[in-house]
Structure 1
Amino acid sequence: MPRTTGRPLSGRLIAGGWSNLTFEIGDGEHAWVLRRPPLGHVLATAHDMSREYRVMQALAGTGVPVPETYALCTDATVIGAPFYLMEKVEGVPYRSAAELAPLAPDRVRAISQRLVDALVALHEVEPSAVGLEDFGRADGFLARQVRRWSAQLDASRSRDLAPAGELRDLLAANVPAQSAPGIVHGDYRLDNVLIDQADRPAAIIDWEMATIGDPITDLAVLIVYQRLSRLCGGEVVSDAAAAPGFLSEDELRARYLAGGGRRTSHFGFYLGLAAYKLAGVAEGIYYRHRTTGSGFERIGALTVPLLEIGLASVREED
């Protein structure tokens, strides 16, 4: 980590993200990134800075691009919450089709292909080889995810969500045998990957939901975001997948398999679970907005569409 110049530090909130807060800290010569939990209502087990820090430390030196991590502070009295510092990686977190529009379709296609390739590289890492064998409990992961997100939805609920109970019951009744354990990012999408000037992933960021579990859930989350963007446009959700050249759902899945990713049988269940999880995240943020006025009210409009995507997905053919 470069030493500071001794000049006063300045900071700015980096836009984007639904949950943990990300700041750029600088002294006029050097820059770092600081991550801390959100303000307001925080669900139990969420926003653990030490877990996010640990997984990036573990993946350093593997084929998975991650920022270098510098320091973790668990003393909430320092800035009002636990936090950690990491390298500021140069790269673009493309969020919209408009941002990708200046690029030719062949460049957009290459970016989306490499997005999948980076996910395959993550899923190829053996947790025990990087000291993450105790980072999560793989046995019963899928069934436990259904219960976890049911509990999270219940903890954040402030309004009627009619499809939630039906989707919960469908998921609970259709849990498949899961694939071999691996490292799960938990919120994998293009705007959680910094793309460098050569159109390659420079760093995967936002590891707050990382764990050990069934890696196919990452591919499902990526595709559910793509479906959600078709329903809700790019105002709240990334619509980068609408850019000319971006891989279609079928191409994303085929690229994942061709690159050595896990076989995706019972994929309708995985899509349904991904939608249910994202509905739980969206509703938690909506609840936090209602209690703190933090400006995320539009996120609440995503909950029901996500539940409906989930219901349709569970009934899909493999």
Structure 2
Amino acid sequence: MVRPDRLGPALAARLGDDRWRTCTATLVSGGKSNLTFEVASPAGVVVLRRPPTGALLPSAHDMGREARVQRALRPTDVPVPEILLEDDTGEILGAPCYVMERVAGHVIRSRLPEGYAGSPAGKVAIADALVDVLARLHAVDIDAVGLRGHGRPEGFLERQIRRWTGQWERSATHEVPAVDELGRRLAATLPPSYGSAVVHGDYRLDNCLMHPTDPGRVAAVLDWELSTLGDPLTDLGLLLFYWREPGEREPSLTPAVTRTPGFPGRAHLVERYAAATGADLQHLGFYEAFAHFKFAVIAQGIAARVAAGAMAGQHFGDLDGEVVATAEAGLARLAQEG
């Protein structure tokens, strides 16, 4: 999966330090799509990203796409790791991969680090930092950073529904009427697209590194696999989907630390994003419902890869139940919109 005998010499040559010739790779837990490894040597520690093993869905797990957007955003005020090495041919590992710097910070999943953001003010600071970075991402000048070809904004929402419907059809192992119905209703109720921006595609708390000591700062935004150019409100809808409130069910795939006391609710995130961007959010329910549809398809894809043994031995519980519950919640949110 990782070939230290090949990766080490490649890093030594690229970074000009022969200490990288002897290195080890350790899988980082939590990755459910592309695989993330910490690569350590006497010269230090870096991070490697590569696709899962086995058959891949079309257009998924594009390493070059991840590296390209991070290179482009590096000079902006959106914090991203520096790309150190990229192999888009598969020569090093037998699959495309890239290596980036290891940024210090906290990946916050099911609980906060000891002594970190312990007060309600600290938890609000985390929420505000996430929203502020998302607003800055959506304000990036696409042409100035050279990302005009990173996606096709025209017809974005329609293509997204079509794309994720296609992914569902390729990865589904049995019929789930709620997913099919949600996809149909979304396709029939497309709102006018809200502008064009760099879209992360999977923006949430645990896809960011929070600053080691300041909960009001995002140290780096990670996991750019699904990034493109399109409607920025799809990012907001997904962030709201992941942002669980007290009393809501705990999902089996994603952490829900925001369910704990002291974190602000989704309304706080919506208000801050609107204030930062001036966005018209009258159709926000559609975007939240679409986030449910997208995540149901992602969960099914993960289930299929687990069953195929392509997730490095990782398992994630009852994913069939997660798919159904997510789609049904999406239908409920869309009904509220109507």
Name the TM tier (shorter chain): over 0.9
- Whole-angstrom CA distance in 2 between matches of 1:308 and 1:228: 18
Asked if residue 198 in structure 1 is aligned to residue 214 in structure 2, the reply is yes
Structure 1, unaligned runs of 5 or more? none
Q: Following TM superposition, by how much is the alpha carbon of 1:234 offset from its aligned partner in structure 2, in angstroms?
A: 5.9
- Whole-angstrom CA distance in 2 between matches of 1:235 and 1:123: 30
- Whole-angstrom CA distance in 1 between matches of 2:232 and 2:180: 25
Number of residue pairs matched?
A: 318
Corresponding residue of 1:243: 260
Q: Which has the higher contact order (CA 8 A, sep 6+)?
A: 1
- Whole-angstrom CA distance in 1 between matches of 2:278 and 2:263: 19
- Whole-angstrom CA distance in 1 between matches of 2:307 and 2:245: 23
Q: Give the direction of change, closer, same or farther, for the CA distance of 1:46–1:97 in structure 2 (3 Å limit).
A: same
1:84-99 counterparts in 2 under 5 A? 84-97=98-111, 99=113
Q: Following TM superposition, by how much is the alpha carbon of 1:179 offset from its aligned partner in structure 2, in angstroms?
A: 0.9
Asked if residue 315 in structure 1 is aligned to residue 335 in structure 2, the reply is yes
Q: Following TM superposition, by how much is the alpha carbon of 1:100 offset from its aligned partner in structure 2, in angstroms?
A: 7.2
TM-score (norm 2): 0.89
Asked if residue 55 in structure 1 is aligned to residue 69 in structure 2, the reply is yes
Query: Letter of the aligned partner of 2:163 in structure 1?
Result: R
1:38 to 39, 52, 69: 52
Q: Following TM superposition, by how much is the alpha carbon of 1:205 offset from its aligned partner in structure 2, in angstroms?
A: 0.3
- Whole-angstrom CA distance in 1 between matches of 2:114 and 2:230: 32
Identity of aligned residues (%): 40
Asked if residue 75 in structure 1 is aligned to residue 89 in structure 2, the reply is yes
CA contact (8 A) 1:95 1:239 kept: yes
Q: Following TM superposition, by how much is the alpha carbon of 1:41 offset from its aligned partner in structure 2, in angstroms?
A: 3.3
* Partner deviation per Cα, 1:71-100 (whole Å, 9 max, x = no partner): 210122421211001110000110124547
Residue 179 of structure 2 aligns to a residue in which SS? helix
Q: Give the direction of change, closer, same or farther, for the CA distance of 1:230–1:291 in structure 2 (3 Å limit).
A: farther
Residue 130 of structure 1 aligns to a residue in which SS? coil
CA contact (8 A) 1:228 1:237 kept: no
Asked if residue 104 in structure 1 is aligned to residue 119 in structure 2, the reply is yes
Q: Following TM superposition, by how much is the alpha carbon of 1:40 offset from its aligned partner in structure 2, in angstroms?
A: 2.4
**Farther off after superposition, 257-266 or 188-197:** 257-266
Asked if residue 296 in structure 1 is aligned to residue 315 in structure 2, the reply is yes
Q: Give the direction of change, closer, same or farther, for the CA distance of 1:107–1:257 in structure 2 (3 Å limit).
A: same
**Farther off after superposition, 151-160 or 22-31:** 22-31
**Farther off after superposition, 258-267 or 289-298:** 289-298
- Whole-angstrom CA distance in 1 between matches of 2:197 and 2:162: 20
Query: Letter of the aligned partner of 2:120 in structure 1?
Result: P
Q: Give the direction of change, closer, same or farther, for the CA distance of 1:178–1:293 in structure 2 (3 Å limit).
A: closer
Residue 114 of structure 1 aligns to a residue in which SS? helix
RMSD of the alignment, in Å?
2.0
Q: Give the direction of change, closer, same or farther, for the CA distance of 1:255–1:36 in structure 2 (3 Å limit).
A: same
- Whole-angstrom CA distance in 1 between matches of 2:324 and 2:227: 25
Corresponding residue of 2:24: 10
Q: Following TM superposition, by how much is the alpha carbon of 1:56 offset from its aligned partner in structure 2, in angstroms?
A: 0.3
- Whole-angstrom CA distance in 2 between matches of 1:73 and 1:229: 44
- Whole-angstrom CA distance in 2 between matches of 1:140 and 1:150: 16
Structure 2, unaligned runs of 5 or more? 1-14
Q: Following TM superposition, by how much is the alpha carbon of 1:5 offset from its aligned partner in structure 2, in angstroms?
A: 2.1
Q: Following TM superposition, by how much is the alpha carbon of 1:237 offset from its aligned partner in structure 2, in angstroms?
A: 1.8
